[in-house]
Amino acid sequence: MQDLQKMIQEAVKNSGAEESISSELANKLEKELSDFVTLNSLKAKLSVLFEYEKNYLELVKEFKEEIKFASGIQEDLRKERAKFFSETLKEVSSTLTESQVENKVASQWLKELVDSYTKSLDLSGGLIEEHTLDMIGTIRDKAKSQKNSVEIASQKTDA
Binding site for other proteins (CB under 8 A): 69, 73, 77, 80, 84, 88, 91-92, 95-96, 99, 101-102, 104-106, 108-109, 112-113, 115-117, 119-121, 123-124, 127-128, 130-131, 134
Q: How many CB atoms lie within 10 A of CB 67?
A: 15
Give the residue with the Cβ less far from other proteins, 53 or 115.
Answer: 115
* Minimum distance, C-beta of residue 117 to other proteins, in the bound complex (Å): 6
The two counts, helices (H) then strands (E), for the chain are 5, 0
Q: Which residues have C-beta within 8 Å of that of residue 80, sequence separation ≥ 6?
A: 121
Give the residue with the Cβ less far from other proteins, 88 or 148.
Answer: 88
Give the residue with the Cβ less far from other proteins, 28 or 68.
Answer: 68
* Minimum distance, C-beta of residue 84 to other proteins, in the bound complex (Å): 8
Give the residue with the Cβ less far from other proteins, 33 or 121.
Answer: 121
* Minimum distance, C-beta of residue 32 to other proteins, in the bound complex (Å): 58
Give the integer Cα–Cα distance in Å for 27 and 32. Answer: 9
Give the integer Cα–Cα distance in Å for 109 and 97. Answer: 12
Give the integer Cα–Cα distance in Å for 58 and 143. Answer: 10
Give the integer Cα–Cα distance in Å for 71 and 94. Answer: 34
* Minimum distance, C-beta of residue 56 to other proteins, in the bound complex (Å): 23
